């Protein structure tokens, strides 16, 4: 059975707890904002984060001619695209490879959970004082918060959502609470799944919600000045409260989060597990107008029994969820308007360890990108004979950030300012992954 703990000692329950407490102890945050500036495109982003680090040498960048202690136990299979092979345990993904591209030459300098997470979710490597076990813990804002700030909300649904929990580095940092994510904080594969923040208490009739809101406003006026002086987050509390009322009275939001409305056959195709149902919920949210959905899926930290865990659990779940996500988006005519990124914080060591596992490896791994007007069905770059590091065309988190922003119609040279007036660029240098755009 796969371990529920990451190697840094955090359990899945810890991560859920941290995500719940992330936004100043409140269950969710969202913001409705008019777009800032002209938008070149009107795309959405689904960012599937494989928390713990996917072994891409055992999935998308196999080395069948390498020595046994590198190549591992799995065999490559042909895909829909001539010459492109993937792992034998990804037969469904193999049929959808024309809908995405693989950047096999991805690399960065860090192989630690937390710091690498932050790097991949923001495009910035964290500076001194960073503690990856805290939540929220953004030295820089996550991509979803940048999207919320620059592009705003569509209708009454939040611009930025995290499912099934909030990763510690998915916060809004200096952009403020208004651009923090709405956090589902629940597994959509659970039989009793619901989003409680969208449901008023049963004793309060719908026509009384607005009366309660006005009453709260009267009470707040007596305390607003003192709260503002005593609590820097007072404004955030007001923002969250206002959005709570908006969401509870929004039929659009209720429909977006009602995964039970999906046909049973389609739910089965995605897979009746957290990754599958989170991807399905992400598609529903994007369809309803959400601009960015981050899916945080664990646990890909396969230090022990890498091949057993991948074969028995992780790869079959991934195969169902990711193949169906791309096919479903394509079937609905949504793939061109939805940019999909699938990645972990790093890959796994090319050399197998003494526990039949693979350890953390930032120097070389594969990132999957598709839809959103990108050139799909490509392999960008390569690694050396043992998948240790890029052999050509190296790209890193800064380049991913530039590419995402450019494709979404956000100028990568945009300059934000912190509350104390410090200028901070949306991206930290970087270049376009030119083969994809």
pLDDT digits (tens, 9 = 90+) for 367-386: 999 999 999 999 999 999 99
- How far is residue 236's CA from residue 247's CA, in Å, rounded to a whole number? 16
Confidence (pLDDT) at 7? 73
- How far is residue 85's CA from residue 231's CA, in Å, rounded to a whole number? 56
Q: Is 188's pLDDT higher than 50? A: yes
Confidence (pLDDT) at 380? 98
Residues in the chain: 437
Q: Give the residue with greater pLDDT, 235 vs 300.
A: 300
**What is the residue-averaged pLDDT of the chain?**
85
- How far is residue 142's CA from residue 153's CA, in Å, rounded to a whole number? 16
- How far is residue 108's CA from residue 183's CA, in Å, rounded to a whole number? 29
CA neighbours closer than 13 Å in the CB half-sphere of residue 74: 28
Q: Give the residue with greater pLDDT, 202 vs 412.
A: 412
Which pTM does this prediction carry?
0.85
* DSSP assigned state of 147: H
* Backbone conformation region of residue 306, classed left if phi is above 0, alpha if psi is from -120 to 50, else beta: alpha
Q: Is 87's pLDDT higher than 90? A: yes
List of residues 6+ apart from 20 with CB closer than 8 A: 27, 165, 166, 183, 185
Confidence (pLDDT) at 5? 56
Q: Which among 133-137, 242-246, 305-309 has the top mean pLDDT? A: 305-309
- How far is residue 334's CA from residue 355's CA, in Å, rounded to a whole number? 43
DSSP E strand stretches across 243-381: 292-298, 338-343, 347-348, 360-361, 365-371, 379-380
Q: Which two tokens stand for residue 151?
A: 């592009």
Confidence (pLDDT) at 129? 76
Confidence (pLDDT) at 53? 98
Confidence (pLDDT) at 14? 47
pLDDT (mean) for 87-102: 98
Burial classification of residue 375, based on how many CB atoms lie within 10 Å of its CB (0-12 exposed, 13-18 middle, 19 or more buried): middle
- How far is residue 326's CA from residue 344's CA, in Å, rounded to a whole number? 18
* Residue found by looking up tokens 């950030």 in the block: 401
pLDDT digits (tens, 9 = 90+) for 381-402: 999 999 999 999 999 999 999 9
Confidence (pLDDT) at 69? 97
Q: Are 58 and 86 in contact (CB under 8 A)?
A: no
pLDDT digits (tens, 9 = 90+) for 33-47: 333 334 457 999 999
pLDDT digits (tens, 9 = 90+) for 262-296: 999 999 999 999 999 999 999 999 999 999 999 99
pLDDT (mean) for 224-250: 53
- How far is residue 27's CA from residue 248's CA, in Å, rounded to a whole number? 14
Nearest Cα neighbor of 54 from 298, 372, 400 is 298
* Residue found by looking up tokens 């953390």 in the block: 360
Split at pLDDT 50, 70, 90, the class of 196 is: low
Lowest mean pLDDT among 102-116, 209-223, 274-288, 299-313: 209-223
Confidence (pLDDT) at 211? 55
Confidence (pLDDT) at 38? 41
pLDDT (mean) for 122-138: 82
Q: Is 157's pLDDT higher than 80? A: yes
Confidence (pLDDT) at 127? 84
Q: Is 171's pLDDT higher than 90? A: yes
Q: Which two tokens stand for residue 371?
A: 């839809």
Confidence (pLDDT) at 215? 52
Among the four given CATH numbers 3.10.450, 3.30.110, 2.60.40, 3.40.720, the one describing domain 12-436: 3.40.720
pLDDT digits (tens, 9 = 90+) for 3-36: 455 676 555 444 443 443 333 333 333 333 333 3
Q: Is 406's pLDDT higher than 60? A: yes
């Amino acid at each position: 059975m796969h371990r529920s703990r990451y190697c840094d000692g955090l359990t899945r329950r810890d991560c859920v707890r941290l995500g719940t407490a992330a936004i100043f102890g409140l269950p969710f945050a969202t913001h409705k904002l008019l777009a800032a500036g002209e938008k070149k495109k009107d795309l959405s982003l689904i960012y599937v984060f494989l928390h713990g680090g996917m072994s891409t040498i055992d999935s998308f960048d196999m080395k069948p001619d390498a020595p046994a202690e590198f190549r591992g136990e799995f065999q490559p299979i042909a895909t829909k695209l001539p010459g492109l092979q993937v792992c034998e345990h990804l037969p469904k993904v193999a049929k959808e490879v024309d809908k995405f591209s693989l950047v096999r030459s991805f690399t960065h300098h860090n192989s630690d959970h937390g710091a690498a997470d932050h790097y991949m979710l923001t495009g910035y490597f964290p500076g001194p004082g960073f503690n990856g076990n805290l939540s929220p813990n953004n030295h820089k804002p996550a991509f979803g918060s940048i999207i919320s700030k620059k592009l705003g909300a569509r209708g009454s649904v939040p611009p930025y959502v995290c499912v099934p929990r909030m990763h510690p580095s998915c916060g809004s940092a200096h952009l403020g609470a208004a651009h923090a994510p709405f956090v589902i904080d629940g597994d959509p594969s659970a039989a009793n799944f619901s989003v409680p923040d969208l449901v008023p208490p049963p004793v309060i009739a719908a026509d009384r919600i607005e009366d309660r809101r006005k009453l709260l406003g009267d009470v707040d006026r007596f305390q607003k000045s003192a709260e503002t002086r005593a609590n820097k987050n007072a404004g955030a509390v007001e923002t969250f409260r206002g959005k709570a009322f908006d969401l509870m009275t929004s039929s659009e939001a209720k429909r977006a989060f009602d995964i039970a409305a999906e046909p049973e056959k389609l739910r089965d195709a995605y897979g009746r597990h957290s990754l599958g149902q989170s991807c399905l919920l992400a598609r529903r949210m994007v369809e309803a107008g959400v601009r960015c959905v981050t899916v945080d899926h664990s646990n890909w930290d396969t230090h022990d029994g890498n091949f057993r865990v991948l074969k028995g659990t992780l790869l079959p779940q991934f195969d169902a969820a990711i193949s169906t996500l791309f096919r479903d988006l394509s079937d609905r005519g949504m793939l061109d308007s939805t940019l999909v990124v699938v990645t972990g914080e790093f890959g796994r060591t090319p050399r197998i360890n003494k526990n039949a596992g693979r350890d953390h490896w930032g120097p070389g791994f594969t990132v999957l990108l598709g839809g959103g007007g990108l050139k799909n069905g490509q392999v960008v770059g390569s690694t050396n004979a043992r998948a240790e590091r890029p052999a050509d065309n190296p790209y890193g988190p800064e380049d991913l950030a530039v590419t995402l922003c450019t494709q979404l119609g956000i100028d990568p040279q945009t300059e934000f300012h912190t509350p104390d007036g410090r200028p901070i660029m949306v991206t930290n240098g970087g270049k376009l992954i030119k083969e994809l755009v």
